[in-house]
Each structure stands twice: as structure tokens, then as C-alpha cells.
Amino acid sequence: MNGKKLVYSLGASLAIVAATLSLTQAASAETLGTSEPKQLGPPAKEVYIKDFTYAGSGCPANSVASLFSDDRQTLELLFDQFQANLQPTKMGEAAFPPQSNCSISLKLHVPAGWSASWHRVEHRGFADTSGNANGQLRARYYIPGAGGFDELRVYDFPSKMVRDYTIVNDAISTAQTQCSADVPMTVTTRIRLSGNPTGYNALTVDSISKKVKTILHFRWQRCNQ
């Protein structure tokens, strides 16, 4: 579980699913007569998301709203059907099936002379397994080609919990993408409830207050000339 942390926090309302690209920029002091920091990453306006698509039972057509930041570095996705339910048959048909999935594909524009590494992902959501079910979130992070990777991570939720959750993975990859090339990347998430329920259970990326985030963090490196 190197680099992977699962943190449960009470009382927060979470529900918008978002994919946020944030630059992790290092700085150093100038050595010639000034203490002004020197930016080691590319100019923010030259980094942006060119396009995105989505598909899956948790995000059917017209169920996802999107919002780009002005600088095109942040993409927020707002879901309204990404949820799994499990309950005894005597309680009637559940509002959602016991498992659901969504695959988000986007293309990151990388400026000339730079490459990127995707080193951190955060997932936030809500789990209610008070009805004796077990929950699971499976996330696949994928970049094809040179400097790419294909990582699958699995996070389990025990029975008898009702909590917001935050999953932090600090060890996605240290590989650098191809220099000066747009980078296609995919995040595929599946949520599932299983077991012999004695009551209502839910695992969701759309809680009552509509705030859940998937946050993607990148580090930048100059290409060898």
C-alpha cells in the first residue's frame, strides 16, 4: 500500500465528481541580484484540456455536466446518476443497481519543450454500508504510449459504516510522457456493493449535497535538448 492512503472523515457533504488538473510547480531563488522565485513549470496558459468524453452505466448520455476553468486547466464533471444501492428484496426494488461504472477520457495539451508525469490522484465520496453490505471502488488510471502506464487500484469499504471518504494515492507514476505531445488519459471508476444485506446500503459519487472530486495532479519536466 505504498503511497496509498484511505482517510474517512465525518460530516462533510460531498457530491460533484470533478477531474481537476493542477500544476505542481517548484521554485528556486534567482542567483543574480534578486530573490524573485523562478518558475520551473510551463506557463499555465499553455497547459489546458483539449477535449473529453465519458461513458458508462454511472454516467449515461446527458447525465454529466461539465465546467472548464478560464485557463482550461481545470475540468469539473457533475454527475447525477453515479450510485450503487443494495437492499433486501423485502424492501422492494432499489433505486440503483448494486454496481455502477464511468470512464472519463480527456486530452491534455503539453507545451513544446515539456513533458508531464501524473503522480497523484484523489477520490472523494460517500459510503453507507449500515445495512451489512461491503463496498468497493476500483479505479484504473491509463496513459498510452511512451511514458505511459496502466494502473489499477482497489479500495474496500467495510460493512456498518456511514461516512464521507477521501482516498489519496500519491504513487501513480514517476514516468514522463512523450516530449511536446498532447497526452490522452483515462480514469475508469467502478463502485460495487455486495453481500447479504439486512437493510439499505449505498455507495455514491453523488451524495445529497452534490460534491465529490477526482483530482489529478501533475509534475512538469523540461525535455532534453
Which pLDDT belongs to residue 75? 64
Task: Using a pLDDT cut of 70, give the percent of the chain over it.
Answer: 72
Which pLDDT belongs to residue 130? 97
Q: Are 18 and 75 in contact (CB under 8 A)?
A: yes
Using the predicted structure, report yes or no on whether residue 82 has a pLDDT greater than 80. Answer: yes
CA distance 79 to 22: 21
In angstroms, what CA-CA distances link 135 with 3, 29, 167, 214? 22, 48, 14, 18
Q: What is the pLDDT of residues 17-69, one digit of tens each?
A: 333 333 333 333 233 333 444 446 777 778 777 888 899 999 999 887 777 66
- Confidence label for 70 from pLDDT (cuts 50, 70 and 90): low
- Confidence label for 217 from pLDDT (cuts 50, 70 and 90): confident
Q: What is the pLDDT of residues 89-113, one digit of tens each?
A: 999 999 999 999 999 898 888 889 9
Q: Where are the domains of the chain?
A: 4-222
Contact partners, residue 57, CB within 8 Å, separation at least 6: 97, 99, 100, 101, 102
Tell me the three cell numbers of residue 88: 433486501
In angstroms, what CA-CA distances link 67 with 19, 31, 37, 154? 10, 41, 32, 28
Q: HSE on the CB side for 52, CA within 13 Å? A: 27
Q: Which of 164, 123, 136, 140 is nearest to 5 (CA)?
A: 123
Which pLDDT belongs to residue 170? 76
Task: Using a pLDDT cut of 90, give the percent of the chain over it.
Answer: 32
Which pLDDT belongs to residue 116? 81
Residue type, 219: R
Please tell me the least confidently modeled range out of 13-17, 121-125, 149-153.
13-17
Tell me the three cell numbers of residue 163: 461516512
Tell me the three cell numbers of residue 197: 444485506
Which pLDDT belongs to residue 84? 95
Using the predicted structure, report yes or no on whether residue 199 has a pLDDT greater than 90. Answer: yes
